[in-house]
Amino acid sequence: MQTEILKRNFEQERKSLKLRVSELEKKLEVATRNLSAREAALSNRNTELAALQNNLKELEELREMKEVINLHLIIYYEYYFCLGAFCVLSF
């Protein structure tokens, strides 16, 4: 009789644990899918960030080129102004 009670208790505990394991496995699957989705989103953000950093670098290079061009223009204007003034003075 006591053996039968122990067997039933054991069987109930086994079923209960089997159900709990099944629930935990489902939760793990959901968590794994969520993690994969977040990793993909993070990868996309990293790609976007790299593109933005590249764009910023190009923009800085263009600004530097613009400054150099502006300096060249100033030098040319001053040169032509001085050349024009020299021509006026020499006549």
The dihedral over CA atoms of 31, 36, 41, 44, expressed in degrees to the nearest 10, equals 170
Return d(Cα 14, Cα 8) in angstroms, integer: 10
Token reading at 69: 């061009």
pLDDT > 80? residue 83 = no
DSSP-H helix ranges across the chain? 2-90
**Does the pLDDT of residue 28 top 60, yes or no?**
yes
Using CA atoms of 19, 22, 28, 31 in order, give the dihedral in degrees to the nearest 10.
Answer: -80
Whether this prediction's pTM lies above 0.85 is answered by no
Mean model confidence pLDDT for the chain: 91
In angstroms, the CA 16 to CA 10 distance is: 10
